[in-house]
Structures are given as C-alpha cells and as structure tokens.
Amino acid sequence: MTALHGMHLQNGSDILVLVFQNAAKPLNDAIPGVFLNEINQEQIAEMHERYTWMKFSKRVQTVDYLFIKDHFSSVYGWYFVDHGKMIHEKLNQELTEFIQKHGYKKVIAFGSSKGGTGALLYGLLNPHITDVFSLVPQIYVADFINTLCPKEKNLFFAEDEQFENQVNQIFYSPSIYQANLKCNLNFYTGLNDIQFDALVQYRFFLQEQGIKSQLFMNRSEERHTRLVNQYTPFIFAVLEDLIKGEDRRTEKTSIQVGTDVYLLRQI
C-alpha cells in the first residue's frame, strides 16, 4: 500500500510545490467520534478530499503542485505517524520516486501547522527538496497531541510510551538530517503561537548543526490559526518569491531585524 496520496496539478513546469495539509476543523472535531468508532474511515477520507491552499495554485499557474493527503492514524498523522508506526521513510522514498519520475528541478515544500511540520520534515529528509516554507509548525508533536486530544492520543501512539517520546523528539533525531543539507529553510510564526518557544529553540539547535534558516515573526496578538488565515498576503508573497527566485514581494511585507530574522510589516 502506498503512503503518498493526493492531487497532482500539472502546468507543464519543472518546478513543483508540495502542499502539506493542515488539520481542518471537521477533522479535529471528528477525533472523538473516530476514537469511539462512531465515525468511519469513508467519512474521514471524504474530509481529506478538501484541500487547503487551492487559491494560491489558481493565483500562480506557472508551476506544478502536489497536494499531499495525511490520512494516517485514522484521522491524520503529521505525515509520519500511523497507529504507533513511523512512516516517514516509506513516504519519503515514494516522494523521491514521484519527483524523479516527473523530472522536477526545483521542489518547494510548503504547509501550515501539521502541514508545516510535514514540509519541514521532508525538507530535512529529501535531497530533491530545494526550499521549505513552514508556517506555525509543531516541533514537539506529541506535546501538541496531548494538548489537543489527550483522551484519544492512542489513535496516534497505540499505547506505546516509548513511541510517543520518539514522536516528540523526531526533530532532534540525527537520523533525519542529510549530510551537507542544502535546503533553504524558512519559518513563519507568531509570538502567541502555541509552539513559538519550541521553534525558536529549534532554530538554535539547527545553528549548532551548521544549518541556516530564516525566521519570519509576527508581533500581533493573533494565535495559531489566525496567524495563518489573517496573513495570506504575506504568505503568498514569500511563497511566490521562493518559486521565482526573487525577494521583492517579501521585502514589501517584512523587514530584517537581525541575522536571518524578519518581522512582518503591519499590513
């Protein structure tokens, strides 16, 4: 059974944008019902057919897109967790085969929340991915699950505390880091995001490994979801610049305040 599922939009380009999906509200609301076997997998599969970030693909039609599904652990799995099993090696291999099959020269991984986690993870794992734009990602996924749905966490961890800890520490695991990583890493977060501190500390870890990254910070009072859906002009600007190898749109929406650190302009 393949791990890579989704929708491939082809515009005849050698540039591919991988769009990792966030958890839409219907999926979050379904977690208790799935845990109690009141919601079946056909219903969950239907929810996964509703892709986010489609508007951007209509705005920029000069590149190809792969909208990647995250239908694991009966609801979703941050693209690496499936009922107590790690699936990132299998999914990464299938992603490599897909990229090679279609001859893509430039590959941008993009997503928000759990999609931001997925974009980051495969940017670290896959040498074919050239750029990452990770929005409000979860660095400590198990911590997030224990906040989101502590009663239903066994959907993800299968009552295995050792596995739960492995999930939580995945971004500090040496096995996910390529030698001589060349991927261009870009993060976006806000001061009030639930894992703001975790992301800031993670960037220090990356620096210790000799891995550069850029951080875009939002000083507003908005929290997790609204940091994304209220700031799409900025997000679209950065993503379009990554596609076109430019920075003029990004410069209009953010200002550099330190080494590889930028603040959003008030828009």
**CA–CA separation, 107 and 97 (whole Å):** 13
Predicted confidence at residue 260, as pLDDT, reads: 96
**CA–CA separation, 46 and 177 (whole Å):** 34
CB count within 10 Å of CB 103 equals 8
Predicted confidence at residue 194, as pLDDT, reads: 95
Q: In the block, which residue shows the tokens 């409000």? A: 136
pLDDT in tens, 158-194: 999 999 999 999 999 999 998 789 999 999 999 999 9
Domain coordinates in residue numbering, the chain: 6-264
**CA–CA separation, 135 and 238 (whole Å):** 11
pLDDT in tens, 44-98: 999 999 999 999 999 999 999 999 999 999 999 999 999 999 999 999 999 999 9
Q: Residue 1 — very low, low, confident or very high, per pLDDT cuts 50/70/90?
A: low
Q: In the block, which residue shows the tokens 């492995």? A: 166
Q: Which residues is 82 bridged to in the sheet?
A: 85
Helix and strand tally (H, E) in the chain? 12, 11
Indicate the fold that domain 6-264 takes in CATH.
Answer: Rossmann fold (3.40.50)
Predicted confidence at residue 130, as pLDDT, reads: 98
**CA–CA separation, 170 and 186 (whole Å):** 19
Mean pLDDT score, 241-254: 96
Neighbouring residues of 263: CB distance < 8 A, sequence distance ≥ 6: 216, 217, 218, 219, 254, 255, 257
CA 120 to chain centre: 6
Q: Residue 267 — very low, low, confident or very high, per pLDDT cuts 50/70/90?
A: low
Predicted confidence at residue 3, as pLDDT, reads: 84
- Residue 80, CA distances (Å) to 62, 154, 267 in order: 30, 15, 35
**CA–CA separation, 234 and 218 (whole Å):** 11
Tokens matching residue 243: 């596609």
- Give me the chain's average pLDDT, please: 96
251 has pLDDT over 80: yes
Predicted confidence at residue 27, as pLDDT, reads: 93
Per-residue burial over 110-127, b = 16 or more CB atoms within 10 Å of its CB, e = otherwise: bbbbbbbbbbbbbbbbbe
Predicted confidence at residue 24, as pLDDT, reads: 86
Share of the chain above pLDDT 70, in %: 99
Phi, psi of 104 (to 5 degrees): -75, 135
Predicted confidence at residue 103, as pLDDT, reads: 98
pLDDT in tens, 192-201: 999 999 999 9
